[in-house]
């Protein structure tokens, strides 16, 4: 299956290169993301950028759906919802995911980028691409502090939904704590830029020991929910909480910021869960 995905992605990239070469108003094509950084695998998405002549920009962007359809049959596509961002997110035949960004030629030098791999260049545009983006540590640090506070103040929600016997909701919440919250803290600890990565790709940025911990916690939650074993789920949830505290402290230390939860607060939540958890 991975070979099929990679083959289809290569076909889409070749079709994209051919499209750019025959469209005179499209001045350059480059990749960003994992395909530009060099850490892509066979299942990675395509993050492709087009530099468009200023005078033809609006007319070209209006043709975005037709342009993408020239690459491959389109299963679904949607414009980006970020204000001001000209991008189409598309799922193509064979499972290829394409994020196609449109930029005015005159503006390509205004944005710092972590990496860029130029595939077509009709006007030395590649020389104007700034590859000097650095993760904004202050912004990431403040966001991590907010996330830690929010996660901790909502720390009784797993208890509440379990007391209400909302088993599906409980499973969803636990798996999010493990594979989104905990995984993000682990990744940010090693590389602050991971904060901006797709959450579905976070585990790829972790070491074997960290991935094994996430997998073990996930398996324990799924097993406990399947058996409706409240006692084992308490033990697992306390392991999750302890890991969140540990990795939260480590991420804050790596970012040079204060861990925003007091020791008494973390200990008090743990004690409450132990006392109130349904048996």
Structural domain range at position 228: 137-276
Model-wide pTM > 0.75 = yes
Q: What is the DSSP letter of 267?
A: H
Same domain as 200, residue 244: yes
Same domain as 228, residue 179: yes
Q: What pLDDT shows up at residue 279?
A: 87
Torsion sign (Cα): 63, 66, 72, 75: positive
Model confidence at 2: pLDDT above 80: no
Same domain as 72, residue 103: yes
Model confidence at 86: pLDDT above 90: yes
Q: What pLDDT shows up at residue 254?
A: 97
27-51 residue pLDDT tens: 999 999 999 999 899 999 999 999 9
Count of the separate structural domains present in the chain: 2
Q: What pLDDT shows up at residue 1?
A: 61
Which of the four pLDDT bands, split at 50, 70 and 90, describes residue 242? Answer: very high
- Cβ(98)–Cβ(48) under 8 Å? yes
Q: What pLDDT shows up at residue 11?
A: 96
- Find the DSSP H helices in the chain: 2-22, 34-37, 57-62, 64-71, 137-153, 157-163, 167-176, 183-190, 208-227, 230-255, 263-276
Query: Of 97, 128, 159, which one is at a domain's C-terminal end?
Result: 128
164-181 residue pLDDT tens: 999 999 999 999 999 999
Q: What pLDDT shows up at residue 61?
A: 97
122-151 residue pLDDT tens: 989 999 999 999 999 999 999 999 999 999
Report percent pLDDT > 70 for the chain: 99
How large is the average pLDDT for residues 69-97? Answer: 96
Query: Of 72, 93, 128, which one is at a domain's C-terminal end?
Result: 128
Model confidence at 53: pLDDT above 90: yes
Model confidence at 268: pLDDT above 90: yes
- Cβ(165)–Cβ(146) under 8 Å? no
CATH number at residue 15: 3.30.460.10
- Cβ(89)–Cβ(78) under 8 Å? yes
Which of the four pLDDT bands, split at 50, 70 and 90, describes residue 203? Answer: confident
Same domain as 154, residue 28: no
How large is the average pLDDT for residues 70-92? Answer: 96
Same domain as 10, residue 105: yes
Q: Pick the more confident residue, 118 or 197.
A: 118
Nearest-angstrom CA–CA distance, 63 and 209: 47
145-158 residue pLDDT tens: 999 999 999 999 99
């Amino acid at each position: 299956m991975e070979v099929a995905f990679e083959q289809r992605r290569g076909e889409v990239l070749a079709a994209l290169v051919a499209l750019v070469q025959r469209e005179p108003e499209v001045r350059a094509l480059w990749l960003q993301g994992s395909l530009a950084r060099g850490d892509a695998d066979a299942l990675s998405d395509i993050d492709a950028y087009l530099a468009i002549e200023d005078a033809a920009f609006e007319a070209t962007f209006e043709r975005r759906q037709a342009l993408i359809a020239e690459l491959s049959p389109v299963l679904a596509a949607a414009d980006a919802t970020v204000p001001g961002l000209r991008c189409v997110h598309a799922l193509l035949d064979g499972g290829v995911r394409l994020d196609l960004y449109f930029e005015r030629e005159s503006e390509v030098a205004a944005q710092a980028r972590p990496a860029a791999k130029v595939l077509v260049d009709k006007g030395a545009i590649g020389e104007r691409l700034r590859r000097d983006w650095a993760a904004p540590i202050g912004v990431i640090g403040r966001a991590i502090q907010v996330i830690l506070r929010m996660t901790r103040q909502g720390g009784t929600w797993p208890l509440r939904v379990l007391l209400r016997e909302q088993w599906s909701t409980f499973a969803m919440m636990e798996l999010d704590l493990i594979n989104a919250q905990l995984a993000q803290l682990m990744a940010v600890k090693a590389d602050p830029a991971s904060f901006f990565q797709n959450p579905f790709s976070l585990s790829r940025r972790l070491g074997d020991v960290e991935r094994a911990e996430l997998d073990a916690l996930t398996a324990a939650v799924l097993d406990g929910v399947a058996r409706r074993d409240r006692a084992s789920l308490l033990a697992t949830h306390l392991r999750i909480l302890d890991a969140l505290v540990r990795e939260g402290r480590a991420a804050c230390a790596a970012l040079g910021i204060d861990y925003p939860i007091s020791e008494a607060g973390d200990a008090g939540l743990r004690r409450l869960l132990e006392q109130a958890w349904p048996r």
